Structure 1
Amino acid sequence: MPLKHYFIYCLTFAFYLNAFSQTSKKTLVTKFTNEKIVVDGKFDEDVWKTAAIASGFEMLAPDNGKHEPNERRSEVKIVYDNEAIYVSAILYDNEPSKIQKELTTRDNFASADHFGVFLNGYNDGQQEFRFFVSASGVQQDVLFTDANGEDDTWNAIWDSNVLITDIGWNVEMKIPYAALRFSSEKKQTWGLNFYREVFRDRHQFTWNLIDNKIGSEANQAGILEGIENIETPTRLFLIPYSSFYLNGNENQKTKGEFKGGIDVKYGINDAFTLDAILIPDFGQTAFDKVELNLGPFEQQFTENRPFFTEGTDLFNKGDLFYSRRIGGEPTISPEISDDEEFTEYPSKVNLLNALKISGRTKDGLGIGVLNAVTEKTEARIKNTTTGATRNELIEPLANYNIFVLDQRFRKNSSISLINTNFMRDGEYRDANVSALVFDLNTKKNTYNLSGDYKFSHVNEFQAKNRNGYNTSLNLGKTSGKIRYGIGGQYVSDDWDNNDLGINFQNHFHAIYSNTSYRILKPNKTFNSFSVFLNLYSEFDNRTGKVQESSVNINVNSTSKKNNYHGFGINSRVTDVYDFYEPRSIDEVKFLEVPRNIGGYYFYSSNYAKKFALDFNPSFTFINEKNRTNLNLVISPRYRFSDKISMIYSFQFNRQVNNIGWIDFDDFDNPIFAKRNRNTFVNSLTGKYSVNNVMTFNLSVRHYWSYAINHEILDLLDDGSLTPNYNYTTNKNSNLNTWNMDLSYSWWFAPGSQLSVLYRNNSSVFEREFDKEIGENFRNSLNHENLDHTFSVSVRYFIDYNSAKHWFSKK
């Protein structure tokens, strides 16, 4: 069958297979009120007496579809005015003294009962704004899509309160329209669901049943009707900030620095929002967990800057955007002579400003634009003989841009167009990447057809421009006890999206398949149980050699006591060829890698208990004499009270006779080493919550990893290795990193925060070192290596609708 006919067949199959009507949905009709509602959890206002009740919740997990027991029934009401919608919930509990209510920081679910409302202003089954409140009054908010799950980096400004009673607990919420997205229609129909979790039993309920036979949640919501003719206010929010930093170390005089700036959020209309940051400050974001990286690829870090994590679901379409590129490390390495040295070399490029516009029309068309500008950055070089200094460019002024169109349809499918563009001032490398991405589901979410086509263009100054592409196609059954899928991918030699994205491999094609089985109802032994089988094969485009060939079997289960047990067997079933470890650019070189077999076990006890434990050993035996990998993670946690808890984690990894690249010889031939590597990671996190808006947090991490080369090797043309007796350079590696953050956070008003942070950190890399753990720990805390930072930051949230009355006459 020709490829184009096959594609059309799959597309038709996805649209029409199993296209029957869905189960009827519950409907709640709300009402308008002019009455002022005080969000206190008491429901004193008259409007609550006549509002319609949503009840009859059904269990989501573990016993999917089971009706909520009467002694723990839930009754929810919704009313609205021109400013917001209001939610009241009476959550009955016949044992109110056992309601779990741990205090935590915002967006941390922890060990507590929860109530949530899920809202979809377009009722398109695609994206939900989810708002949760714990029994201790802690707020959580997330953006949910079936493709990406719950994104807790999104934050909104809303109000809530809880009240523990002798029959259970009450929740009252005020969710401004500014925190939502919906059409401009005079008569609104929204998607709606409610969620409740009784944490001590790990029982989860929803108002409209989310059937676990269906691999989709958002389109299983109920309906909210009755919102009409609302006059939404101007959505203009200003968040000015001011920060003070005190930095110093043993070799540098302590100095202070003030920073200030402003974030702007403006509602262009009911659907689209502009977010902008002017003079950004990210000095209090969480530290990166740096590791000793001996492999051919860069370490990928988590994004911790709020602007690049909040509401970025559109920009993550197609996996083309790695936000850490913006304001990352300089990319140009200037050459210096033997009698020169760097006196200043910035480790990061400053972000000057950034903005994003995102939203969705009433017809389901999502539009996203993100733009950021980073400043010109220079290093300072000193001539040690003459004392003369000069500046050398290490990063020019640069512009980063992303444009996205995402059309949703049929309440469960989408097609997206994405373009990323990177331009640098002057005669330097520029890049452009475009993609078509589709995700198609049958009406009952039984089958899925997804795929993409991505094209990259890199403009290299004084070099040949390069074009590449990356395409994939996947087909699968996504519902029922037994699910399966098959897919393939082709990546060309010159595919490169690394200027604004991150990609580790190119020049390969792959085929893969999977099948799984799960129970949909608890049985005598398990609350949940699933088995997965995954097959994957990958081939180099240029030689046809196998790059990867794996078979994985994984089992996940939850016992009747809500303890998690998981285990698996992972195997590389054939010898394969690694084209990346040799790090050759001009020649095609590869390393032959032997087959292996390994396994793991993961145990996580019930977090509803005061003491819980995570335990995860794993191993890999490689088909080569005395070559193994062992890994162990142990992480106990203890909740001393609802206010105080601590988590300790220890990780040990040992690689025996690991083989990897260490250098090039004089003729640019790769040199390898056989080495033993040990890694120790100790971390401690703790919190003391004064109340639901004020918390002290502690985060400590000591990372130590070293590798000792005991045999130097040369790479032969057939991928095998032969001893090298001439290379004598010491390429052993030893890295110690230390990070400690002690912080205080106070949300003194909605959206307004005072935060105080003391941070000390160090990073020490050595070729000559002692293998004694105490010596390495002391070395990481040596005063010469340790940097200290004390900072205070205040952010204040200003709503234009409130601020405009500050200056008005009485």
Structure 2
Amino acid sequence: MSKPHSFLLFFLLFLNLSAFSQKKTLLTKFTTENIIIDGKIEEEIWKTAALASDFVMFEPDNGKPINATKKTEVKIVYDNDAIYIAALLYDDEPTKIKKEITNRDVFGVSDHFSVYINGFNDGQQDFRFFVSAAGVQMDCIATEDSEDFTWDAIWDSQVNITDFGWIVEMKIPYAALRFSKANKQTWGLNFMREIKRDVQKYTWNHIDTKIGAVIPQAGILEGIENIKTPTRLFLIPYTSAYYQQSDIGSDTTLKAGLDIKYGINDSFTLDAILVPDFGQTKFDNAILNLLPFEQKFEENRPFFTEGTDLFNKGGLFYSRRIGGEPSAYPNLTDEEEITNYPSTVNLLNAVKISGRTEKGLGIGFLNAITEKTKATIFNSLTNEKRKEVIEPLTNYNVLVLDQRFNQNSSVSFVNANTTRNGEFRDANTSALVFDLNTKQNTYNLYGDFKFSHVNTLEDYNGYKTALNFEKTSGRYRYLFSGKYISENYDINDLGIVFYTNYHSALANGSYRILNPTKVFNTLKIEQELNLEIQNTTGKIQENWYKTVFKGTSLNNDYFELGIVLNPLESFDFYEPREYGSYVYIPKRIASYFGFELNRNNPLTLDMTVNFTKYDEQKRITSGLYISPKYRFNDKISLAYALEYTKMKNDRGWVDSNNSGIIFTERNREILQNDLTGKYSLNNKMTINLTARYYWSYSKNHDFFTLQNNGYLAPNSTYNLNKDRNFNSWNFDLSYSWWFAPGSEISVLYRNYGLERASTVEKEVSKNLKNIFNSDLTNVLSISLRYFIDYNVIKNKF
């Protein structure tokens, strides 16, 4: 090829790439016309509003222009209260538009349209609003790390299925957004359209998947001028009634309280709960926990899930500590026993303040107070009862300062503090975290330094530090990471950490296709090496080499294959439950394979099998997860999940006595069944079913004594019964009606029970019979929450 032709080809290619890299701009206009959100777009203002079009594919075939038969046209106008969005989504086969009705914030099998708004245009955080073709709303606060769908805003939308496709009309009040005080606003903006039957997503401003960061690749919205946010004061009073019945008796409880959301200014919001009521939150999945650590539970209480992304910076905040188990245990004499030990502590009130300044400084403050809690103790010699404090009046608070800059980087300071009245344990932890990206979002440097201080009978300090360097763009990517955690690093008063006193190094490399091939829509191959060394002894605590293949076929079926090799002998410093002791862990190899059929099909199947072989005689772990789901129509669906694990000749701690630390060789089985169902009467009213049955046992057959070198010696004299049999049952049937924006009536019937035994029963039918013959608890509750907007009341009066 001649040089002029080569130069021309290069120039055209440069123009094409430059076009993709340039940000699109949409100019909006002010309106005084009354816009009715009805999905019809009949107001005069829409005829002259500027048009956003020419969408391009985000995935799977990144950068491909949208087909003319699926063209998408969007317009935005604004007034003194809100912005209004009108979208025409053309489709040459409107009868094939997917439109499953789901609960709010559940995507389901539906087409979707969404708008991403960044009021500061800083490339750091989006407010995202989605509407499905069934009219269901979803919204979230998004950063590069996560999408927080627990955040719920009050906004309006309507859809209309037509003979040419479908229409979306949205009204997003300024109270649902955050932006600067500038007279002339410049916002980051993008639109996304998902065509579910083709498993394709399109965006207005091109998002290059060769670049890891998505938010900085938004377009621009201009034209909004001289707007002021209204007073953001929202009151959510609630009342609830509970009727509970068990073998012990019955009880009726009435509760009432108030949630407050107040916009301190354009940037910051105060959330407060008075007389909290979490009686209808999702149940915890209790298990037979034989590990040396507590079971970590998911947070289900709305106050601690909604809009808490800022408080999760640095990983110092585990909200289940607030109102969790008491921190102390009573001192007992030989004649005393505990007759009542509360499993949780009552939350008295909580408040959080969060927001971000115009210059990118995010500030978050959370404070919660729990009440004094006592255990009841009975003296069998004197027949007297006494009470002892096991958790005093306690104050928890978290402070976060998060400075963003260069549209893609941040430095954060986090402090978590727990103060207990009296002589009880206090704790304080601080963290400095930095997340730095190159201007082109091709490389990332992330690190932290954390310091913990615990004030008890003997004060102690600890620290943790880590540094990570990562290539975040292109087909080939890599990561190098190093970490050091001191022995006394302890954040467990308000955070959660299990493993300390080690240093580690990790290397990860991956390859991915950026556009579909003749075989795959997506494909990623990942390899990883990790080594952890215990600080005190210099022994290996953990090691692995991992290879993972994951991708989707041209039929949009997902698959994942993983092989994990632990080639070196290592030692567990926690399983012995005694400081300074450790136990040998043999070499092992594990593998798993999973697949999920295209979720667009009425009948789908999700299945995973796994297998682990230890370098120890006949020690094997295998597992199966299988979950079919059937969607009868757009309103009704039913899903079942079975998870089964079998551990043959598993080894673990069972006891400590005068002769030493006792380990056992045991056989274990774990069976969990989950049934979930949904019936959507419409997009505001649903009936949901959630049922879970869990059974697990541990059957010991040989005992050992732990030696000082970490190895086990046979013990033929130990004969205590340490077998375990565990059954757990939960059943929730709920009805929910969002009768007005932010206002809900919910009715819940709950049935649950738990059975523990030291005699192993291996027949599932007998275990089911045992749990249903146990003291099952029945709860019927009704809750009403009503959303009150101060501006609506002000305008009426």
TM (norm. structure 2) is 0.97
User: 1 CA distance for matches of 2:294 and 2:793?
Assistant: 47
Q: Equivalent residue for 2:14?
A: none
User: 2 CA distance for matches of 1:82 and 1:127?
Assistant: 24
Cα offsets for 1:66-85 (capped at 9, x unmatched): 00111111111111111111
1:383-782 equivalences in 2 (<5 Å): 383-384=379-380, 386-460=382-456, 463-585=457-579, 588-666=580-658, 669-782=660-773
Q: Equivalent residue for 1:376?
A: 372
Amino acid of the residue matched to residue 619 of structure 1? F
Q: Equivalent residue for 1:69?
A: 67
Kept in 2: contact 1:491–1:509 (CA 8 A)? yes
Kept in 2: contact 1:403–1:419 (CA 8 A)? yes
1:101-112 equivalences in 2 (<5 Å): 101-112=99-110
User: 2 CA distance for matches of 1:593 and 1:535?
Assistant: 18
Shift of 1:336: 3.6
Shift of 1:382: 3.1
The one of 169, 181, 189 equivalent to 2:178 is 181
Shift of 1:340: 4.1
Question: SS at the partner of 1:685?
Answer: strand
- Tell whether 2:288 aligns with 1:296: no
Q: Equivalent residue for 2:322?
A: 326
- Tell whether 2:265 aligns with 1:273: no
Shift of 1:662: 0.8
User: 1 CA distance for matches of 2:386 and 2:401?
Assistant: 46
Shift of 1:596: 0.5
User: 2 CA distance for matches of 1:354 and 1:712?
Assistant: 49
Question: SS at the partner of 1:204?
Answer: strand
Shift of 1:342: 3.6
User: 2 CA distance for matches of 1:697 and 1:341?
Assistant: 43
Cα offsets for 1:451-502 (capped at 9, x unmatched): 0000000001xx2210100000000111000000101000001000000000
Pick which of 152-161 and 510-519 moved more. Answer: 152-161
- Tell whether 2:149 aligns with 1:158: no
- Tell whether 2:296 aligns with 1:305: no
Pick which of 572-581 and 723-732 moved more. Answer: 723-732
5+ residue gaps, structure 2, are 1-17
Q: Equivalent residue for 2:4?
A: none
Amino acid of the residue matched to residue 433 of structure 1? T
Shift of 1:206: 0.7
The one of 184, 195, 208 equivalent to 1:198 is 195
Cα offsets for 1:220-240 (capped at 9, x unmatched): 110011111002210000000
User: 2 CA distance for matches of 1:403 and 1:516?
Assistant: 36
User: 1 CA distance for matches of 2:77 and 2:704?
Assistant: 73
Question: SS at the partner of 2:198?
Answer: coil
Q: Equivalent residue for 1:4?
A: none
Shift of 1:341: 4.1
Kept in 1: contact 2:117–2:128 (CA 8 A)? yes
Cα offsets for 1:324-350 (capped at 9, x unmatched): 000001121113445544443322101
User: 1 CA distance for matches of 2:118 and 2:183?
Assistant: 16
User: 1 CA distance for matches of 2:752 and 2:698?
Assistant: 23
Cα offsets for 1:624-653 (capped at 9, x unmatched): 110011010000000001000011000110
User: 1 CA distance for matches of 2:429 and 2:338?
Assistant: 35
Kept in 1: contact 2:133–2:159 (CA 8 A)? yes
User: 1 CA distance for matches of 2:651 and 2:19?
Assistant: 57
Question: SS at the partner of 1:803?
Answer: helix
Q: Equivalent residue for 1:55?
A: 53
Pick which of 326-335 and 67-76 moved more. Answer: 326-335
1:199-278 equivalences in 2 (<5 Å): 199-250=196-247, 252-278=248-274
Pick which of 752-761 and 379-388 moved more. Answer: 379-388
The RMSD of aligned alpha carbons is 1.2
Kept in 2: contact 1:21–1:444 (CA 8 A)? no
Amino acid of the residue matched to residue 557 of structure 1? G
User: 2 CA distance for matches of 1:21 and 1:53?
Assistant: 18
Shift of 1:388: 2.5
Shift of 1:26: 0.5
Q: Equivalent residue for 1:9?
A: none
Question: SS at the partner of 2:769?
Answer: helix
Shift of 1:666: 2.4
Shift of 1:385: 5.4
Shift of 1:781: 1.4
Shift of 1:380: 2.2
User: 2 CA distance for matches of 1:31 and 1:67?
Assistant: 27
Kept in 2: contact 1:356–1:368 (CA 8 A)? yes
TM (norm. structure 1) is 0.95
Q: Equivalent residue for 1:16?
A: none
Kept in 2: contact 1:615–1:635 (CA 8 A)? yes
